[in-house]
Amino acid sequence: MVVEIICVGTEILMGNIVNTNAAYLAAKCAGLGLSCYYQSVVGDNEGRLYEAVKIAYDRSDVVILSGGLGPTQDDLTKETAAKVLNKELYMHEPSKEAIIRILSRRGLTITENNWKQAMVPEGCIVVENPNGTAPGIIMEENNTHIILLPGPPGELIPMFEDSIVPYLKKLTPDVLYSDMVKLCGVGESMAEDRIKDLIDAQSNPTIATYAKTGEVHMRVTAKAKSEEEAKQIVKPVVDELFNRFGDAIFTTKEEVTLEESIVNLMKEKNLTLGVAESCSGGMLSARLISVSGVSDVYKAGLVTYSNEAKQELIHVSGDTLNRFGAVSEETAREMADGTLKTIGCDYAVAITGIAGPDGGTKEKPVGLVYIACGCKDNIIVKKCQFSGNREKVRQSATATALTMLRGQLLKNIG
Ligand code: ATP
Ligand code: MG
């Protein structure tokens, strides 16, 4: 079943708004097992919209349009889609009543053009819109389904979840199931190289890899007649990935993040954590604190940006700072050690580096970051050379710190 997405609106075409509807719809359709081969954006222009809908109608099984269902003259989607299928519009009384209800509740005066939203193509399915005045529309002709959705995401998303997903599920008898195998501490090309044979041999399940800063995600997806059957197809491939990557895999669940897996690990063992950050400026703490329930684990985080703060708050020695500099293995180690003592936690992580774009030297270039991590009398320090802009260096440092922390935890507590 091939789906195609068309987003309508000159605002999107001009870059005034970001096309989040396309990303949302594409991800949802992929999750439903629909193959999406084309996505397009068309301005509020009848001729070009007609052409786009016609082409999509001819080559795809499901065409989803977003936007242009409003009451004004430049909202043309419904009229144009109906024209492609040679359908007349008629006044849909329940939609008219809904418009009266919504507008009077909002204290708005009804104008003549409001009735435009209650006009629907003959023979279509009208989809209720609890969050706005434009109903959604489903038209079916020659086994092709054209689905019209309102542009505002606050209307489109609930309508899609509540009404369109059940509709699409009925069209696709196959069930799709995927596990998301997430790895940390392994580079993307290295990871892909190690599963090249699996990727070459794939048909059902399929393996798709995605790179994220410091992580590689592998989605293993199977199609079958039931979820149970699909799970059985996915399992041996996931087992094989565990054989190959072992501890580098921190979860097989889409929704679980690296920070969450670490927090869970520490929670299980009743361990606490403290953080001292320089160049990452709180990013590590922010990632950890995004995990609900982290309070059992996370005690405190300090952004010790200046040398004085490193000395006063976490007792890095002035001598170390003078001799080796703030960005050095020695300082990172003392930051972690000082954090353990000042905060009184079981584990500490410290980050110090040069995020750029200024401040680099020949000996200490931009992107040089030292990360220290561990527990009492067992702190390891890693020297990293990251690339990219300030933001990217900070993100890489944060991701690496999390990976190191996880590595230390696994080594010490199994
Ligand atoms: P309205 O009744 O508000 O006119 P509509 O169905 O005609 O709704 P549009 O006029 O195309 O939709 O868009 C209305 C608003 O919805 C836009 O200003 C924008 O904020 C949001 N929107 C539209 N299309 C998209 C999109 N593809 N991605 C994200 N937001 C969008
Ligand atoms: Mg509009």
- In sequence order, what DSSP letters do the residues of 248-300 get, joined into one string? GEEES-TT--HHHHHHHHHHHTT--EEEEESTTTTHHHHHHHTSTTGGGTEEE
Q: Tell me what the mean pLDDT of segment 335-352 comes to.
A: 98
Q: Tell me what the mean pLDDT of segment 11-16 comes to.
A: 96
Long-range contact list for 263-267, CB < 8 A, 24+ apart? 263/288, 263/291, 263/293, 263/294, 263/297, 263/298, 265/406, 265/409, 265/410, 265/413, 266/297, 266/347, 266/409, 267/293, 267/296, 267/297
Ligand 1 contact via 151 beta carbon (within 6 Å)? yes
Nearest to 277 by CA among 363, 358, 191, 371: 371
Ligand 1 contact via 159 beta carbon (within 6 Å)? no
Q: In angstroms, what is the span from residue 17 Cα to ligand 1's centroid?
A: 9
Residue among 11, 13, 103, 119 to mutate when testing ligand 1 (max atoms within 8 A of CB) = 11
**365 CB-side CA count, 13 A:** 8
Q: Tell me what the mean pLDDT of segment 58-63 comes to.
A: 97
pLDDT tens string 97-149: 999 999 999 999 888 889 999 999 999 999 999 999 999 999 999 999 999 99
- pLDDT reported for residue 413: 84
- pLDDT reported for residue 132: 92
Q: In angstroms, what is the span from residue 41 Cα to ligand 1's centroid?
A: 12
Ligand 1 contact via 150 beta carbon (within 6 Å)? yes
85 CB neighbour count, 10 Å cutoff: 19
- pLDDT reported for residue 219: 94
Ligand 1 contact via 135 beta carbon (within 6 Å)? no
Local structure of 238: helix, strand or coil: helix
- pLDDT reported for residue 33: 83
- pLDDT reported for residue 202: 85
Residue carrying the six token digits 């509740």: 105
Q: Tell me what the mean pLDDT of segment 221-231 comes to.
A: 92
- pLDDT reported for residue 31: 84
- pLDDT reported for residue 243: 97
Ligand 1 contact via 153 beta carbon (within 6 Å)? yes
Percent of the chain at pLDDT above 70? 100
Q: Exposed, middle or buried by CB within 10 Å (0-12, 13-18, 19+), for 61?
A: middle
Q: Tell me what the mean pLDDT of segment 192-209 comes to.
A: 92
Percent of the chain at pLDDT above 90? 91
The whole-angstrom distance between residue 233's C-alpha and the CA centroid of its chain comes to 26
pLDDT tens string 229-275: 999 999 999 999 999 999 999 999 999 999 999 999 999 999 999 99
pLDDT tens string 152-188: 999 999 999 999 999 999 998 788 899 999 999 999 9
Ligand 1 contact via 43 beta carbon (within 6 Å)? no
Q: Say if CB 9 and CB 37 are below 8 A apart.
A: no
pLDDT band of residue 28 (cuts 50, 70, 90) is very high
> Mean pLDDT for the chain?
95
Query: How far apart, in whole angstroms, are the C-alpha atoms of residue 5 and residue 293?
Result: 39
Q: In angstroms, what is the span from residue 76 Cα to ligand 1's centroid?
A: 12
Query: How far apart, in whole angstroms, are the C-alpha atoms of residue 217 and residue 209?
Result: 6
- pLDDT reported for residue 272: 98
Based on C-alpha coordinates, what's the Rg of the chain?
A: 27
Q: In angstroms, what is the span from residue 74 Cα to ligand 2's centroid?
A: 7
Nearest CA to ligand 1 atom 23: 151
Q: In angstroms, what is the span from residue 95 Cα to ligand 2's centroid?
A: 17
pLDDT over threshold 80, residue 414: no
Q: In angstroms, what is the span from residue 92 Cα to ligand 2's centroid?
A: 19
Q: Tell me what the mean pLDDT of segment 281-296 comes to.
A: 97
pLDDT over threshold 90, residue 22: yes
Output the six-digit token pair for 363.
């000996």
pLDDT band of residue 404 (cuts 50, 70, 90) is very high
pLDDT tens string 79-94: 999 999 999 999 999 9
Q: In angstroms, what is the span from residue 151 Cα to ligand 1's centroid?
A: 3
Ligand 1 contact via 44 beta carbon (within 6 Å)? no
pLDDT tens string 358-372: 999 999 999 999 999
Q: In angstroms, what is the span from residue 67 Cα to ligand 1's centroid?
A: 5
- pLDDT reported for residue 175: 84
| Nearest ligand to the CA atom of 17 | 1
Nearest CA to ligand 1 atom 4: 70
**Edge-to-edge strands, sheet with 125-127:** 35-42, 2-8, 62-66, 144-149, 136-141, 125-127
Query: How far apart, in whole angstroms, are the C-alpha atoms of residue 396 and residue 4?
Result: 36
Ligand 1 contact via 75 beta carbon (within 6 Å)? yes
Ligand 1 contact via 66 beta carbon (within 6 Å)? yes
- pLDDT reported for residue 402: 98
| Nearest ligand to the CA atom of 8 | 1
Nearest CA to ligand 1 atom 19: 152
